[in-house]
């Protein structure tokens, strides 16, 4: 709540400055609280009455011990987690989700169980091509694409296009002595982006910077110039209810 209140203050101050910061704010609340998450969400809403739009909750889990697990197995199927998600629906809030690509079928089942909840899938469905998934592109990409297709069948899910600068996606951009430029980056990203845009459609996709995490691979300006090269006219304004 303190974070949301702090960002709300920065956003309010920016109205009279150059540009507009944080037109919409995503906070965090633990959906495993079930129905008991409602007072937390109420407090977040009170901290930002005009900008708070929802929460981000990771469910990232993988059976391989070398993969970092942020949560526990099967969280999306948990009764408490789903009860908490239904509170989001009741309050008109959305859920940002992060997971690993083998969990995409779980996300599809969750989305179908709570069809009135707007869900944003971050980082192109949690693509991973390192560790136990290194040098297995034929198998990994087939699994990833099947998962993307399953989630795309759920009209309440929106896909964020980005996060490819994280080393776990298997690109070498973070190891280069000369940073990648926007033209090469756009060309490298295009087939991955297309694999999401085609099943979801452009109205259910939006670009994400994933900064500062992705800056290990490229600069903010290079990334957004690559996005401009890839496409124009895609917007997050509808999902977050931002006036543009």
- Residue 64's φ and ψ, nearest 5 degrees, are -80, 130
Tens digits of residue pLDDT in 129-142: 999 999 999 999 99
| Pairing mode, strands 94-98 and 119-121 | parallel
The residue count for the chain: 244
Domain boundaries, the chain: 56-240
What integer pLDDT is reported at residue 17 of this predicted model? 62
Mean pLDDT of 35-58: 96
What integer pLDDT is reported at residue 18 of this predicted model? 57
CB of 139 closer than 8 Å to CB of 102: no
pTM of the model: 0.91
As a whole number, the mean pLDDT across the chain is: 93
Q: How far apart are the first and last CA of the chain?
A: 26
Q: Which residue has 């940073």 as its token pair?
A: 179
Instruction: Tell me the C-alpha to C-alpha distance, in Å, between residue 195 and each of 128, 153, 210.
Output: 15, 14, 19
Mean pLDDT of 29-58: 96
CATH superfamily of 56-240: Metal-dependent hydrolases (3.20.20.140)
What integer pLDDT is reported at residue 182 of this predicted model? 96
Helix (H), strand (E), coil (C) string for 48-80: CCCCEEEEEEECCCCCCCCCCCCCCCCHHHCHH
């Amino acid at each position: 709540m303190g974070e949301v209140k702090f960002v709300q203050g920065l956003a309010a101050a920016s109205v009279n400055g150059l540009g507009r910061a944080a037109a919409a704010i995503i906070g965090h609340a633990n959906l495993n609280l079930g129905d008991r998450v409602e007072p937390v969400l109420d407090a977040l809403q009170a901290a930002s009455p005009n900008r708070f739009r929802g929460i981000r909750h990771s469910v990232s889990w993988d059976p391989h011990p070398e993969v970092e697990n942020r949560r526990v197995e099967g969280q999306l199927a948990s009764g408490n987690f789903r009860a908490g998600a239904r509170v989001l629906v009741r309050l008109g809030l959305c859920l940002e989700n992060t997971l690993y690509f083998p969990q995409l079928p779980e996300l599809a089942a969750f989305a179908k169980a709570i069809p009135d909840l707007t869900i944003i899938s971050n980082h192109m469905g949690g693509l991973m091509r390192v560790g136990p998934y290194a040098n297995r592109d034929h198998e990994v990409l087939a699994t990833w694409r099947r998962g993307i297709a399953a989630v795309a069948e759920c009209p309440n899910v929106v896909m964020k296009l980005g996060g490819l600068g994280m080393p776990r996606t298997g690109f070498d951009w973070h190891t280069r002595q000369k940073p990648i430029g926007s033209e090469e980056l756009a060309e490298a990203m295009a087939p991955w982006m297309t694999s999401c845009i085609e099943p979801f459609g452009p109205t259910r996709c939006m670009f994400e910077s994933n900064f500062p995490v992705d800056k290990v691979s490229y600069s903010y300006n290079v990334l957004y110039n690559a996005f401009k090269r890839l496409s124009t006219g895609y917007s997050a304004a509808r999902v977050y209810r931002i006036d543009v």
